[in-house]
A and B are shown apart, each in its own frame.
Chain A
């Protein structure tokens, strides 16, 4: 209770405002009337109208959503199976493979983009959706793998043992016990993967074909060639979509806390009591 100042709260507030400031600028200027992306000339919805007329942006959006969906699904399957499997085998190669599989989010994106570009052309793969999917899956797997792995560590093994004692086979025990318990980790890993895939510019620029655009690539070229309020409108809509996804994942996260995160809740309570008293 002693020396209580409001400095921490003010600090948190100020930095948080800065986090949202650029987003706010983009949103405000998306309603700007004039040609200029910078000078304010009055409210209008023209750029949204223009945006919806541009079919190339719509194509890029479809590409991005399809890509993000597919790569997060692939990552979910490979990552979940991998994490569960790795927790139960004792292979000497385990450590190395685990390290390698999480490497894509550890190394600078530019390196990942570069090695994919040269490797895919070595293999002779056609650049486009296939190469994008492989590259995106590669950097999505770590998110799922690490989340599921962390969840498995905290899992009470006696549930699975109990199921087996009651006669459940290996597969049955997984489907009925392990899977529901790790599902929140899979979902949050997938959502993170989805968001990361949807946002990726660097790696996509390297591995995309000349006629396949994703939304971030499209925006990147637009920003580089000159800013138009249309880009503002597009970004605003994307932000609203992100907000929706965020709320959705928070909702899922909340129901997870309610169901089986009791130990965490109690430790949080303890900390709270200690600091409060």
Chain B
């Protein structure tokens, strides 16, 4: 007994390993139980049938997946994709220059800009969207300004339209792009750009061949970080689009909370999840980076 105690305490490695194993135990338990568990259940659920009135029956079926191809759902899917593409492109066009220019600032100003960016980013997205409601609402701020300077003679009624949803999406998602591009551009060796310029490359050519190429991981990571949420941020479409713009996210929400068709909601989620994973996989293949740039 005493001998074995000494054996355990003398060599350092077993003790160290045992402690590390204890340390990772909570993470393992939590992750397997509350991340892997729900994910597996979602997959199982998507192949089950819904009960007559409420709940789920343990009966295997492909019907939930087949239903996605019904015209009404395909339309929602298309609308969702269209919005995601539109928002992502706009976010890239607005966010990329911002992150890029920001990286060129002095360290002091970079820190300040970061601070000013993080504050709205941390502020409730609901509040920020709510501000846009005030702006867009009929006879609201925008209409007052436009009618005041005589550009329009009557309220535009932009609230509860597709453009309003796009503005909301872009507004909420642009910081993700900025952070991603910035963290890439910050590491950029500007002397390479200088060298290209010294060797006779024009500003545009130097940008395309050096800067853009080296900040591509940031840009792509931003695209992933924008595209994925924009498929699911149903509350933006809900608040700014009224009931007119229906997204994948809204559809899942409706099926889950109103129609109580959990298996169908699960199937929709699986499809969304597969698309998401595919994007992350592609991103990793293209950039050969493991973690998404600028995520934290």
* A interface with B by C-beta (< 8 Å): 3, 8-9, 11-12, 15-16, 18-26, 29, 37-39, 77-79, 81-82, 84-86, 88-89, 93, 97, 100-101, 103-111, 114-119, 122, 134, 137-138, 141, 143, 145-147, 150, 164, 170-171, 189, 192, 195, 198-199, 201-202, 206, 216, 219-220, 223-224, 227, 231-232, 235, 238-239, 242-243, 245-246, 250, 268-269, 271-272, 274-275
Looking at chain B's contact residues, the main secondary structure is helix
Q: How far is the CA of A230 from the CA of B220 in the complex (A)?
A: 41
Encoded as 1 (CB less than 8 Å from any A CB) or 0, chain B from 229 to 242 comes to 10111110011000
B51 to chain A, nearest CB (A): 14
Known: A23-B123, A108-B231. 17 other contacts (CB 8 A): A12-B101, A23-B120, A23-B128, A78-B27, A82-B27, A85-B20, A88-B16, A89-B24, A100-B35, A111-B42, A114-B256, A115-B39, A199-B123, A201-B125, A201-B126, A219-B126, A220-B126
Q: Is the CB of A245 within 8 A of B17?
A: no
Q: Is the CB of B102 within 8 A of A12?
A: yes
B60 at the interface (CB under 8 A from A): no
28 contacts across the A-B interface (CB closer than 8 A) = A16-B117, A21-B135, A23-B131, A24-B131, A25-B141, A26-B131, A100-B32, A110-B252, A115-B269, A117-B256, A118-B42, A118-B256, A119-B38, A137-B34, A141-B27, A170-B16, A171-B19, A201-B235, A202-B233, A206-B257, A219-B127, A224-B239, A227-B130, A235-B124, A238-B127, A242-B122, A250-B115, A268-B107
B30 at the interface (CB under 8 A from A): yes
Q: Is the CB of B296 within 8 A of A146?
A: yes
A25 touching B123 in the complex, CB below 8 Å, given contacts A79-B27, A115-B41: no
The interface size bin for chain B is: 35 or more
Q: How far is the CA of A189 from the CA of B105 in the complex (A)?
A: 26
Q: Is the CB of B253 within 8 A of A78?
A: no
B154 at the interface (CB under 8 A from A): no
Q: How far is the CA of A49 from the CA of B136 in the complex (A)?
A: 27
Q: Is the CB of A137 within 8 A of B30?
A: yes
Candidates B101, B119, B256, B291; contact of A146 at CB < 8 Å: B291
Q: How far is the CA of A146 from the CA of B27 in the complex (A)?
A: 13
Q: How far is the CA of A137 from the CA of B30 in the complex (A)?
A: 9
* B interface with A by C-beta (< 8 Å): 12, 15-17, 19-24, 26-28, 30-32, 34-39, 41-42, 45, 94, 97-98, 101-102, 104-107, 113, 115-120, 122-135, 137, 139-141, 171, 174-175, 189-191, 194, 203, 228-229, 231-235, 238-239, 248-249, 252-253, 256-257, 262, 265-266, 269, 272-273, 276, 280, 291-292, 295-296
Q: Is the CB of B15 within 8 A of A82?
A: no
B158 to chain A, nearest CB (A): 13
Candidates B27, B122, B296; contact of A246 at CB < 8 Å: B122
Q: How far is the CA of A220 from the CA of B30 in the complex (A)?
A: 29
Q: Is the CB of B123 within 8 A of A108?
A: no
Q: Is the CB of B127 within 8 A of A104?
A: no
| Interfacial chain B residues near A116, Cβ < 8 Å | 34, 38
Candidates A85, A105, A192, A243; contact of B119 at CB < 8 Å: A243
Give me the 3 closest cross-chain CB pairs, A-B, nearest first: A22-B131, A108-B232, A82-B27
| Interfacial chain A residues near B175, Cβ < 8 Å | 19
Q: How far is the CA of A258 from the CA of B184 in the complex (A)?
A: 24
| Interfacial chain B residues near A198, Cβ < 8 Å | 124
Q: Is the CB of B233 within 8 A of A109?
A: yes
Q: With CB as the reference atom, state the residue of chain A lying closest to B188.
A: A271
B201 to chain A, nearest CB (A): 13
Candidates B21, B35, B120; contact of A20 at CB < 8 Å: B120
| Interfacial chain A residues near B19, Cβ < 8 Å | 170-171
Q: With CB as the reference atom, state the residue of chain B lying closest to A146.
A: B296
A89 touching B232 in the complex, CB below 8 Å, given contacts A12-B102, A100-B36: no
Q: Is the CB of A106 within 8 A of B228?
A: yes
Q: Is the CB of B130 within 8 A of A22?
A: yes
Q: Is the CB of B128 within 8 A of A22?
A: yes
Q: With CB as the reference atom, state the residue of chain A lying closest to B230.
A: A108
Q: How far is the CA of A239 from the CA of B266 in the complex (A)?
A: 36
| Interfacial chain B residues near A164, Cβ < 8 Å | 12
A272 touching B107 in the complex, CB below 8 Å, given contacts A231-B130, A243-B119: yes
